Amino acid sequence: MPSPRKVVAIKLSLFTLCTILLAALVVFFLVHRSFSHAALKTGLEEAISGNAEIGTFHSRYFPPGCVAEGVSLRQGSQPGPPLIVVAKLSIRSTLAGLISGRRVSMRADGMRVSVPASGSREPIKLSSHSNVRIIEFTAENSVLEIGRSDKQPLRFLVHELKLHNIATGSRLLFNVRLTNPEPPGEISASGEFGRWNARDFGKTPLGGEYQFQRADLGVFKGIRGELFSRGRFTGILERIGVRGDTDTPDFQVKSSTHAVDLRTRFQALVDAKNGDTQLQEVQSHFWNTTVQSQGSVARRAGQKGKEAVIHMASSAGRIQDLLRLFIKSPRAPMDGVVSFRATATIPPGKTPFLKKVTLTGDFGIDEGNFKPRTQEKVNKLSAGARGEKGEEKDGADLQTVLTNLKGHVALSNGIAKFSHLSFTMLGASAQLDGSYNVITEKIDLHGVLRTDAELANTVHGPKALFLKVLDRFFKKKHAGYIAPVKITGTYDHPSFGLDLSGKHQHHASGE
């Protein structure tokens, strides 16, 4: 007979074997009930309120779960690609997880989500009725496509997505890393999402924080640079409040040769259903100038693409900073303190930036002076207007500044039209109208010049003799001398002269 010790060992072995067999039977039963082909298909169809197709299916018992390949989910019978396609869907759990309430983890490989264009199909409906609790969902190397009625779909490459706490009636936690299509760059974000609103998905709440790295602005016509941004967002999908800041250390308008460190701080509202953005407050800083802006980037009725409308203002900027954004010359032709209010409109389309942008505004510049060659002419003009001849005392030229330079500008089709343009300098003042071609840099301004002294003093040589004869015609009682003038030439080589074309007459008529 076996010894008592051997009997005990045999009994323990039999008990252990029975326990293992019982556990295996429990796992088999739970897996068969929870992870059968029919159970998975029913669960997926309930989750999206639609239809599910599964190519191949395999159950796994240790650890309990299943693997499905060739999965596609479609809502309704509408044409077009399925809402979700997954090359391989892996589901697993634990014995404790199955017993305590069908708690599972899911992993999707090769997933593609195709969201229809707004208004082209019924809204996406996700069911909140499920007895399966997904404690974690992971997807890598996925694609999200958002349809657009007038363009190719926006295509986001989702490198990694992790969702936690997915359960009925709860707000899930998410972490995501993806490549943004417009402008191309890398986004990482984390936060909370849901509860999903099945009746109106635009009312689904979310909140969190983001980082946007190496966004290439070169995809937009007219500008270039690499943008970095970070901030926070909260709200609902159709009205997401975003606060953050951006830094573009090499921002450049393509018509210029000057790159600048452009920094902004902003507050905006974004509609994730269509991508429309309302810019509530934007503060931009570059070189020594700060600009306050508001506006929108949105689709207009009957128009393809989105139109940007920006209202801008600055109270103590630097005119040289604004000019350097658009010029190729090493130095701006003018320095001074600028204040302005303007509205710029940028329509969609492939038309070059300077041809399609429109702008209207009013501006004022004080303490203005010019680059050396132009400034020398201004100094001589001012000295002659005051009746001074010859060199200044001690051979030093007194630099003349323009004051109260102001006017109205309307930019369209690459041509800036100026009206009520006026300025004052020592001994003289002027009023001008005309245009400046921002593409060819051609100047065409006409108006009147008022001087305290004879106009002949403002020039030398044959021109002085010619004006000496005409001075008595330009003399105005109690008003010094008034003459028609013009500024022509180009941005780099402006030309000042007497205007006999008659374009100045509407200025003189008010005298």
Q: Model confidence over 106-147: pLDDT tens digits?
A: 888 998 988 776 655 555 555 555 555 677 888 888 888 877
d(CA 115, CA 83): 6
Q: What is the pLDDT of residue 27?
A: 47
The alpha carbon dihedral of 45, 48, 51, 54 has a sign of: negative
Q: Which residues of the chain have pLDDT under 50?
A: 6-8, 10-11, 14-32, 375, 382-387, 390-400, 455-475, 477-478, 507-511
Q: How far is CA 192 from the centre of its chain?
A: 24
**What is the rounded CA–CA span in Å between residue 37 and residue 34?**
9
Sign of CA pseudo-dihedral 286, 289, 290, 293: negative
Given a contact cutoff of 8 angstroms between Cβ atoms, the answer to whether 93 and 78 are in contact is no
Q: What pLDDT does 189 receive?
A: 94
**Strand 133-146 and strand 103-115: pairing?**
parallel
Q: What is the pLDDT of residue 267?
A: 96
- The C-alpha atoms of residue 447 and residue 501 are separated, in whole angstroms, by 11
**How deeply is 174 buried, as exposed, middle or buried, from its count of CB atoms within 10 A (0-12, 13-18, 19+)?**
buried
With a CB cutoff of 8 Å and minimum separation 6, the contacts of 456 are 464, 465, 467, 468, 471
The whole-model pTM stands at: 0.72
Minimal CA–CA distance to 211: which of 188, 195, 192? 188
Let me know the angle formed at the C-alpha of 315 by 313 and 319, rounded to the nearest 5 degrees: 90
Q: What is the distance between the alpha carbons of residues 172 and 138, in angstroms, rounded to a whole number?
A: 13
Q: Are 156 and 112 in contact (CB under 8 A)?
A: no
Q: 145: which 2 tokens? A: 């496509």
Q: Residue 327, class by beta-carbon neighbours within 10 Å (0-12 exposed, 13-18 middle, 19+ buried)?
A: buried
Nearest to 327 by CA among 345, 355, 352, 354: 354
Give yes or no for a cis peptide into 63 (omega within 30° of 0). yes
Q: Which residues of 218-230 are buried (b: 16+ CB within 10 A; e: fewer)?
A: eeebbbbbbbebe
- Please tell me the distance from the alpha carbon of residue 486 to that of residue 463, in angstroms, as a whole number: 15
- CA angle centred on 383, ends 380 and 388, rounded to 5°: 125
Q: What is the pLDDT of residue 289?
A: 94
**Which of these, 374, 385, 436, lies nearest to 407 by C-alpha position?**
436
The pLDDT of residue 169 is 58
Query: Nearest CA to 266 among 228, 239, 231?
Result: 231
d(CA 451, CA 483): 9
What is the model's pLDDT at position 304?
76
Q: Give 204's Cβ-side CA count (13 Å radius).
A: 22
456: which 2 tokens?
Answer: 């002949």
Contact of 430 with 485, CB cutoff 8 Å: yes
Between CA 506 and CA 21 the distance in angstroms is: 105
Q: Find residue 190's DSSP bridge partners.
A: 175, 209
Per-residue model confidence (pLDDT) at position 405: 81
d(C-alpha 400, C-alpha 378), whole Å: 7
Secondary structure of residue 40 in the 3-state scheme? helix
CB 233, CB 210: distance < 8 Å? yes
